[in-house]
Amino acid sequence: MGVPERLRTTPSGLVLPFYAYAAASFLASALLAFFSLDAFGEHHHHPHLLAVTHSMALGWATMIIFGASYQLVPVLIERELYSVRMGYVSFAFLATGIPLLVGAFYAFDMGPLAKWGGRLVLLGFALYLINLSKSIALSGIRNIHVRFVHTAAIWLFVVGAFGLVLVYNFTFRMLPGDPWKYLPLHAHAGVLGWFLMLILGIASRLIPMFLVSKYTNERLLVWIYYLVNSALAIYIVAFYVPALRLIAPLPWVLLLAAVILFGAYCRGAFLMRLRKSVDAPMKMSLLSVLMILLPLVAMLAYLVAYAGRGGEGGQLLTTYGYLIFFGWITAIILGMTFKTLPFIVWNREYRPGSFTGKPPNPKDLYSDGLFKAGALAYLAGFAAFASGIAIEHPWTMRVGAGLVVVAAVAYNANAWKVLLHRKRAPK
């Protein structure tokens, strides 16, 4: 009997390689940060910091978000993906392009390595955007979650294209002025337009779902959507119109409002949950929402204390970047991995009729103890590393970086335990 159309979800063969790649990238990034500690005391344009940032942003966060969204977008749009094959090709482009780009940044060689890396990554983004746009167009569903995800994919493509222009700009001047001055534009469009939009769009659906909460508030989500997009639009306009630099804090105030509203949304979902017990991965995911406030506070502190005093407050900016990539983005991925990955693998291994006996619970596919140990190492390491950067204390940074490596090892051990799980009693 064929699978009914409404049950045809994305094959695990497409989703799981993204999770595997992301896990390996998290460990590689944590090690790269550990062995590049000196760079955290330098200017945030330091090549090693660019390498760590792109390894975290692309190899870790973007790869796992691609995998998870190929699985979850069909739930949001209530139809299968437009093209699974396009998903596989996007993986191939990104998996090849990311190490080229990260390697090029590390050596600061903006030649063919960086250009090919950037081209391949951009092709991966383009395929993702086309696949998503076609899937959404065919479904006809335009709820707020879909709008978040689609807008995020558009921003991602724009950010990727602009990033490639910046790579070219180091060898063929295409943009006026200092090539480095455009970096904040690229970085903020990526963090706010891609990561924040995408994570808010998907988390606003998943958090109530995993809490078994009947709470919904589409109007609140619409406000959040416009606050984040307005903040980014104002940031871009203020970047190009010097007279508007006075309103520099406005985007961050709007973002603060968006995050507070999203916190209220999560609180509503939490209070109206039917499932009283909240597991450790879910607690980590909820904590990550609070952690979004940290970089916002750091940026507002920077604007109040240092804006306009050229070159001052550099450590606060490096801390700000760290709080984003090793902070809330990593925290929500650590939590959500174990709310999704075990179910994808369980679904593949223990489909009824293909297995005799009582199947294990999907939650038993990973070690809860190892998750908690890794989460503690991560939170302690994150706090120490971020404080170490802010106060320029090498040993605090070293301890923090070491603990983050421990957390990445624990995460990999648990993720690979699930990825390599095979049923023990086949028919």
Partner 1 sequence: MNEMNAIDRHGLRAAEALQEVLDPEIGLNIVDLGLVYGIEVFPEEQKLRCLLTLTTQFCPMGESIVDGARVALERAFEGYAVDVDLKFDPPWAYGMISDAGRQFLNA
Interface with partner 1 (CB under 8 A): 3-4, 6-9, 71-72, 74-75, 77-80, 209-210, 212-214, 274-277, 343-344, 346-347, 350-353, 361-362
> Which are the contacts of 320, defined by CB distance < 8 A and separation ≥ 6?
295, 298, 299, 302
Q: State which residue, 45 or 142, has the beta carbon closest to partner 1.
A: 142
Provide CB contacts within 8 A for 140, sequence distance 6+.
Answer: none
Contact, 331 vs 411, CB < 8 A?
no
Nearer to partner 1, 213 or 285 (CB): 213
User: Shortest distance, CB of residue 310 to partner 1, whole angstroms?
Assistant: 51
Residue 212 CB, nearest approach to partner 1 (Å):
6
38 vs 364, beta carbon nearer partner 1:
364
Residue 275: which region, alpha, beta or left (left: phi > 0; alpha: psi -120 to 50)? beta
Nearer to partner 1, 350 or 416 (CB): 350
Nearer to partner 1, 3 or 420 (CB): 3
Minimum CB distance to partner 1, residue 305 (Å): 46
Please give the structure tokens belonging to residue 59: 């190899």
Q: What are phi and psi of 355, to 5 degrees?
A: -145, 130
Residue 346 C-beta: closest distance to partner 1, Å: 6
Q: Nearest distance from residue 70's CB to partner 1, in Å?
A: 11
Minimum CB distance to partner 1, residue 343 (Å): 6
Residue that the structure tokens 């900016």 belong to? 317
Cα 100 from chain centroid?
Answer: 20
How far apart, in whole angstroms, are the C-alpha atoms of residue 165 and residue 170? 9
Which residue number, 341 or 406, has a Cβ lying nearer to partner 1? 341
**Least CB distance to partner 1 at residue 214 (A):** 4
| Nearest to partner 1 of 181, 351 (CB atom) | 351
In terms of Cβ atoms closer than 10 Å to its own Cβ (0-12, 13-18, 19+), residue 411 is buried
The distance of closest approach from Cβ of residue 265 to partner 1 in the complex, given in angstroms and rounded to an integer, is 17
Q: Which is nearer to partner 1, 12 or 230 (CB)?
A: 12
Identity of the residue, 3 or 243, whose beta carbon is nearer to partner 1 in the bound complex:
3
**202 contacts: CB under 8 Å, gap ≥ 6:** 68, 69, 72, 76, 145, 148, 149
Distance CA 11, CA 33 (A): 34
What minimum distance in Å lies between the beta carbon of 10 and partner 1?
8
Least separation, in Å, of the C-beta of 362 and partner 1? 5
Q: Cα–Cα distance between 142 and 140 in angstroms, integer?
A: 6
DSSP assignment string, 179-223: GGGGHHHHHHIIIIIIIIHHHHHHHHHHHHHHHTB----HHHHHH
* Separation between Cα atoms, residue 201 and residue 350, nearest integer Å: 30
Using the minimum distance from each CB to partner 1, give the nearer residue, 2 or 242: 2
**Residues whose CB is less than 8 angstroms from the CB of residue 266 and which lie 6 or more positions away in sequence, other chains included:** 203, 207, 286, 289
Which residues touch 347 (CB under 8 Å, ≥6 apart)?
Answer: 12
